[in-house]
Structure 1
């Protein structure tokens, strides 16, 4: 590896904490800009003699951010922090600092996981579905609608139907059963994404550059992330994808210009891999430990400018064959 790593966000949040630990383990120089400490930090971003620059201060310490080879960013609005700034000056300082840092990361000449623009497809599931199909994956039969009658007709045609948010706002995938079907008039106030239920086995795939890490999820829950809400379990373990599916995942992430992506797949009883969505800021640590460790190590190596798929590196147990 030949560069330093910049990490931006809440340092104690598990995805960042795991990358910080991996950087230390791999002996990669790492600067952490912790959002919970911004009151004591400053930043300057601009152009000087045609060159883009960004300088960060904390007390008497000053760092030229442009010296970094890559950045891992999970910056969030102040309102989403557990302990947000409360005084008006603190709120404004946080807002301007994060805006300036995001603006620089968007155009800085380094690898960033991930810039904001590539991740915007997550704000529109129908748009993202087109990108997914372009990469060669099948997607669920879907209906985005605020018309109760159209939804009822869709449900009659496809039998079991689930629904979720059509935007990037987190929602729980839920079956359209008798209780929710009786409340369908409420959909007039908010267009919702309805999908024909796809049976099979869930896979969460994390792509880092050209490396693919796969987690198989065995669960009877409609949305395995909230299996406990349904009184069932979700068993996760590291697995491998067939080489062709792994290559397709790499192509999907690359086509969306994502250095890091969390891809949700399901293998149907007939062996087809159906893709539901692509998360541009995946919380990879909530999946199995093997995959999470592989993602963190690979992310540090990739962003710091090291070999992306070098044959000298022993393949991690959770890693699918390279594309």
Structure 2
């Protein structure tokens, strides 16, 4: 039995559900928008065995029957049904407790878990993740993480092009630093920012599902290809990319080393063939890529979940 948890209408979950349906898999869907109908309780015995019960509506499922999980969980505080609850409503506490329990169970459950909560934590600190990336022979850009305006000013002045972005797991738009940004550096004192030397070359997103690798080359003049239309008024062009075998093997090894079953790895390959890695996304919105390239990423995800 496969459990798919999150917001089922979100494209990555919907594509995975469609692929699992094509495989005639036994699937249980846990919608975070229907927490009022859900209960979850589990325990870990002295031997480390995990068991418990999941209730969804009138259905009760023994957790030991679940062999695979695809969890793409939203912060429950952002779920519309939660936000509509009055501030003092005790149901809010129940929602919070349920989501905490779900996250904890995902972290210790047996079987194929895409992805465990603890394994996803490295993405919350990009500099730390960069150290893990470097262990696998992938280059990382020269990086400065600071809340000191003068240090940032000196970094910018000594390099031909600098980009900046969030140092945490929070989504941010990567932008090129311009002279006009110097006047805003005082705001760094309230929140450190990550600055990096810009790397020329071709952006390549690599999706790793178990041992399967799907690489996509992105062509755009935008600093952040995800926001190409806003930055350069033209969408990025995505095409399947023939990734060198040794680079593909490093991506698989990096994914496994991070404890992930599924990852989206952002590379840039320079004109000289050097391979830089910017980050590893532990919950990739892969449908942006598979939708344009027709790469069978959801099918690979379904196969991986069912292989347990």
Q: Does 1:42 align with 2:39?
A: yes
Partners of 2:30 and 2:56 within 8 A in 1: no
Counterpart-to-counterpart distance in 1, 2:151 and 2:294: 41
TM-aligned CA deviation for residue 60 of structure 1: 2.7
Counterpart-to-counterpart distance in 2, 1:84 and 1:294: 34
Structure 1: give runs of 5+ residues left out of the alignment.
307-323
Counterpart-to-counterpart distance in 2, 1:10 and 1:303: 18
TM-aligned CA deviation for residue 48 of structure 1: 6.2
RMSD: 1.6
Counterpart-to-counterpart distance in 2, 1:21 and 1:95: 29
Q: Specify the SS of the correspondent of 2:304.
A: helix
| Structure 1 pair 220–266 and aligned structure 2 pair: CA distance change class (3 A) | same
Partners of 1:8 and 1:32 within 8 A in 2: yes
Q: Which residue of 1 aligns with 2:264?
A: 262
Partners of 1:206 and 1:262 within 8 A in 2: yes
The partner residue of 1:9 within 6, 9, 17 is 6
Q: Specify the SS of the correspondent of 2:82.
A: coil
- Taking structure 1 as the reference length, what is the TM-score of the superposition? 0.89
Q: Which residue of 2 aligns with 1:309?
A: none
Partners of 1:69 and 1:305 within 8 A in 2: no
Matches within 5 A, 1:1-323: 4-47=1-44, 51-85=49-83, 86-87=85-86, 88-230=89-231, 231-289=233-291, 294-305=296-307
Counterpart-to-counterpart distance in 1, 2:21 and 2:162: 46
Q: Specify the SS of the correspondent of 2:139.
A: coil
Counterpart-to-counterpart distance in 1, 2:46 and 2:253: 38
Q: Specify the SS of the correspondent of 2:237.
A: strand
Counterpart-to-counterpart distance in 1, 2:289 and 2:92: 34
Counterpart-to-counterpart distance in 1, 2:78 and 2:238: 28
Counterpart-to-counterpart distance in 1, 2:45 and 2:266: 43
- Count of residue correspondences: 303
Partners of 2:161 and 2:176 within 8 A in 1: yes
Partners of 2:67 and 2:112 within 8 A in 1: yes
TM-aligned CA deviation for residue 29 of structure 1: 1.1
Partners of 2:115 and 2:282 within 8 A in 1: yes
| Structure 1 pair 43–218 and aligned structure 2 pair: CA distance change class (3 A) | same
Structure 2: give runs of 5+ residues left out of the alignment.
none
TM-aligned CA deviation for residue 47 of structure 1: 4.3
Counterpart-to-counterpart distance in 2, 1:8 and 1:115: 12
Q: Specify the SS of the correspondent of 1:182.
A: helix
Q: Deviations over 1:149-181 (max 9, x none)?
A: 211211122111000011101111011102212
Partners of 2:219 and 2:238 within 8 A in 1: yes
- Taking structure 2 as the reference length, what is the TM-score of the superposition? 0.94
